[in-house]
Amino acid sequence: MKPILMLCACAGSLAAQVPYARIAASASEPGSWLTYSGSYAGHRYSPLKQIDRTNVARLKPAWMYQTNDLNQFEATPIVADGVMYVSEPPSNAAALDLRTGRPLWIFRRALPSDVRACCGQVNRGLAILGDTVYLGTLDAHLLALDAKTGHVRWDVTVADYKTGYSITVAPLALQDKVIVGVAGGEYGVRGLLDAYDAKTGARLWRFWTVPGPGEPGHETWRGDSWKNGSATTWVTGSYDPASNLIYWGTGNPGPDYDGDVRQGDDLYADSVVALDASSGKLKWHFQFTPHDTHDWDSTHTPVLFDATVRGVARKLLMVANRNGFFYVLDRQTGEFVAGKPYAKVTWAKGLDNRGRPILVPGMDPKPEGTPVYPGVHGGTNWFSPSYSPETGLFYVGMREEGTTYYRATTDYQTGTYYTAGGIHGLAGVEPSGAIKALDPVTGDAKWEFPLHSPPWAGLLSTAGGLVFGGTNEGNLFALDAATGKPLWTFQAGGPALGNAVSYEFEGKQYVVLTAGRALMAFGVD
Amino acid sequence: MRKGYVWNAALWVLLVHPALWAAGAGEALFRTHCAPCHGPKGEGGRGADLAVRRLPRAPDDAALSAIITTGIPGTQMPATRMTAEENAALVAYVRSLGRTQAVRAPGDAANGKRLFQTKGNCAGCHTVGGAGGRLGPELTDIGTRRGPAYLRTALLEPEAEVPENFASYRKLIYTPDNFLWVRAVTADGKQVSGARVDEDTFSIQIRDASDRLYSFRKDELRELHKDWGKSPMPSYRSVFSESELQDLVAYLASLQGPS
């Protein structure tokens, strides 16, 4: 046996001791990927630079792993101490040996046959803390699994799946707790965000994203509509340890297309909420799309960064929103700093000085149909953008696809589809897309790489000066982060629907991309 | 009084004509549960086109009922929860979407077949029953997918309704099915025009009028034009007489799939 193998065995025996301090200091540990976005700041940026502009053309698969399920594979893997932890559809998880890609364990969740998932039975990833990994399930449970074996340590019910709740989001572990959100925005659930004790599974706090009677914001709902107001929380948020604030995006108000039953702004749907991590109390909110009737969930990972704006050093947060606008907010106060369209927008003329949209009349869904850009899947969607501190650019997969929205009247029935209308693609237009690099302070596009169809895959930027991503047609690619020029592409034979990560193992950098059922680790010889 | 009359009439319909009630209920259920993906008339969108005579995944009503109940694993088709009566009403309504033009098209289908192969030279571009060209859509089952009026328009004004596709609603590797006409110029000046067979971000495949297949990396091309809304098919208005047109439509309507 060669010494390098013994080193590896050593690392294996230390497997998965990932205390909070390691995740909070993720920048000092670039070889691992310890949380959904690589860091609490939501950057999805790797400081690794072994793979760079000069050698990326030689990138080749080192190994592949295939999920055991035909549903869409949307997960972000976690990499720690020689092991990759990845969830797979519908609500399963696996630990993979980084040397070979072979599974060390696979956990399979037995799901009831009547779980509800509007848009595919998917899971977007795990969280790790200590020697435990955390998995949300389609029947709306949160599970703690032994990282060494995949055995269940605890299993708590977050919400009743029979009323339409499900969990597809990757949980966020911080300090001694696990934050998890819910899906179900097309079933008239009431949105929530929960924190659980990482050791015991005891619930520490709950934030209702739709305020109840007597709470501020309740008056933005008509009658009892708040009870089915949705505003779900199905994409992982960010965290700022300095202020102890969690930033989390919220989904569409329900029902999706008939706004009359819920006249008002419908807080806190289509917003980002800043919550105190210890208490779950709301510090501030910013609503991107007041009184939305186009299903523009603001379920995006907020990207935290610091910059000087008009001569003042500020702590900021940015979001390329499903509604077609790019926003920069003050992350201490929620104050609107800047915003402009990054995608085709026909529903608003612009944003006012508080960031509120200046509406174009007549854009609400009508029984005979209303064509609108962006369409129902948005100018972007749940998949992650990326921010490179090296280039100072924000990268986003942009979708150009309109929708004709139809309005109908639907009575709420517990656990059934509650959208009150329908959608259809625009006649005679083939949708398209692009990867865009935006200046994070001004929102100006620095470059644009055109895609054949609107993307469904997230982006990863690296210190090697690269942006990695994938297309619906199975093209995995690396672009020059400074210019957008394509430097590497690989036809993987299945649609790319997940978020990329990077890690180092035995002195070599790997980039992990997914397509179809396959997860692939790419490296340069 | 007038109100009472309407109410009585409605009651009569409900009590005496349960079939009518089921049709109305099925349509309402469809609007709620199906139209968001399948389109308000079942014409397809994120979900499959349901306005067809044969649903590929649901050969009979029991299969359709099961799909509505359990969804289709591996796709975006979700499970739904409804009563047995509602499920049956929805099945009946979905089936009704596919009943295109039960009336037989007037005309002599046998003569239409002869015109298809001779005067129209249609087989140069279209395949029927395994024989014919590949430039245009396969027509072996066109009678199940399109009604006579649509077929007649397609012959007279081929660009009136060029087939569309909505790739992004299908999170699957797909090949475009809209026969988009494209013109490419290579870096060394060679010109190729034809129907798009497939395309992704980095490449395009084209079939030209002489049935030759080309595959280009996009960085090998100097120009790539897409003729949206155009069709290489000529209008047959001046080719066929009115009675010949009727015969050809009758023939196309008779094409019901592989025998």
Interface predicted TM-score (ipTM) of this complex, two decimals: 0.88
Q: Do B171 and A416 touch (CB under 8 A)?
A: no
pLDDT digits (tens, 9 = 90+) for A126-177: 999 999 999 999 999 999 999 999 999 999 999 999 999 999 999 999 999 9
Q: Which residue of A has its CA nearest to B47?
A: A424
Q: Which residue of B has its CA nearest to A497?
A: B171
Q: Do B168 and A474 touch (CB under 8 A)?
A: no
Complete domains list, chain B, with CATH: 2-97 (1.10.760.10), 109-161+233-253 (1.10.760.10), 167-226 (2.30.30.100)
Q: Do B33 and A401 touch (CB under 8 A)?
A: no
Of the listed ranges A312-326, A369-383, B39-53, B222-236, the least confidently predicted one is B39-53
Cα B164 to Cα B173: distance, rounded to the nearest angstrom: 17
Nearest CA to CA, how far is B165 from chain A (Å)? 7
Give the full edge-to-edge strand order of the sheet including B221-226.
Answer: B213-217, B203-208, B191-199, B181-186, B221-226
Q: Do B200 and A475 touch (CB under 8 A)?
A: yes
Q: Which of A419, A473, A476 to mutate to test the interface with B (most CBs of B within 10 A)?
A: A473
Question: What is the predicted pLDDT for the residue at A439?
Answer: 97
Question: What is the predicted pLDDT for the residue at B74?
Answer: 56
Contact list in B for residue A121 (CB cut-off 8 A) is 73
Residues of B at the A interface (Cβ-Cβ below 8 Å)?
Answer: 31-33, 35-37, 39-40, 43, 45-46, 70, 73-76, 78-82, 162, 164-169, 171-173, 178, 180, 199-202, 228-229
Q: Which residue of A has its CA nearest to B160?
A: A428
The residues of A carrying an active-site annotation are 295
* pLDDT above 60 for B102: no
Give the full edge-to-edge strand order of the sheet including A312-320.
Answer: A303-309, A312-320, A325-330, A336-341
Q: Do B200 and A406 touch (CB under 8 A)?
A: no
Contact list in A for residue B224 (CB cut-off 8 A) is none
Question: What is the predicted pLDDT for the residue at A13?
Answer: 42
Angle at A167 between CA A153 and CA A247, to 5 degrees: 100
Q: Do B78 and A419 touch (CB under 8 A)?
A: no
Contact list in A for residue B70 (CB cut-off 8 A) is 113
Angle of helix B2-16 versus helix B18-29 axis, rounded to 10: 100
Q: How far is CA A285 from CA A75, A265, A442, A473, in A?
A: 28, 13, 22, 38
Q: Find all residues with CB under 8 Å of A243, minimum gap 6, and list them.
A: A315, A331, A332
Question: What is the predicted pLDDT for the residue at B12?
Answer: 41
User: Is the entire prediction scored with pTM above 0.95?
Assistant: no
Q: Are A90 and A71 in contact (CB under 8 A)?
A: yes
User: What are the average pLDDT values for consecutive 10-residue runs of chain A, which has 525 residues?
Assistant: 43 67 96 98 98 98 94 96 97 97 97 87 97 98 98 98 97 98 96 98 98 97 97 98 98 96 98 98 98 98 96 97 98 98 98 98 94 96 98 98 89 89 76 96 96 95 98 96 98 96 98 97 96
Question: What is the predicted pLDDT for the residue at A410?
Answer: 84
Cβ burial of B108 (10 Å; 0-12, 13-18, 19+) is middle
Q: Cβ–Cβ contacts within 10 Å for residue B43, how many?
A: 14
How far apart, in Å, do the first and last CA atoms of chain A sit?
Answer: 22
Contact list in A for residue B179 (CB cut-off 8 A) is none
Residue B250, phi then psi, degrees to nearest 5: -60, -40
Q: Which residue of A has its CA nearest to B176?
A: A430
Q: Do B201 and A408 touch (CB under 8 A)?
A: no
Q: Which two tokens stand for residue B244?
A: 């010949």
Nearest CB partner across the interface for A117, out of B70, B78, B180: B78
Q: Which residue of B has its CA nearest to A516?
A: B172
DSSP 8-state assignment for residue B115: H
Q: Which of A118, A168, A368, A424 to mutate to test the interface with B (most CBs of B within 10 A)?
A: A424
* pLDDT above 80 for B21: no
* pLDDT above 60 for B236: yes
Q: Do A416 and B80 touch (CB under 8 A)?
A: yes
Transcribe A57-74 into DSSP letters: GG-EEEEEEE-SSSS---
Q: Are A469 and A459 in contact (CB under 8 A)?
A: yes
Question: What is the predicted pLDDT for the residue at B155?
Answer: 95
Cα A284 to Cα A319: distance, rounded to the nearest angstrom: 16
Q: Do A114 and B81 touch (CB under 8 A)?
A: yes
* pLDDT above 50 for B169: no
pLDDT digits (tens, 9 = 90+) for B56-95: 788 899 999 999 987 776 566 777 777 788 899 999 999 9
Q: Which CATH class is domain A3-523?
A: mainly beta
Nearest by Cα to A191 from A297, A80, A338? A297
Q: Which of A121, A380, A430, A456 to mutate to test the interface with B (most CBs of B within 10 A)?
A: A430
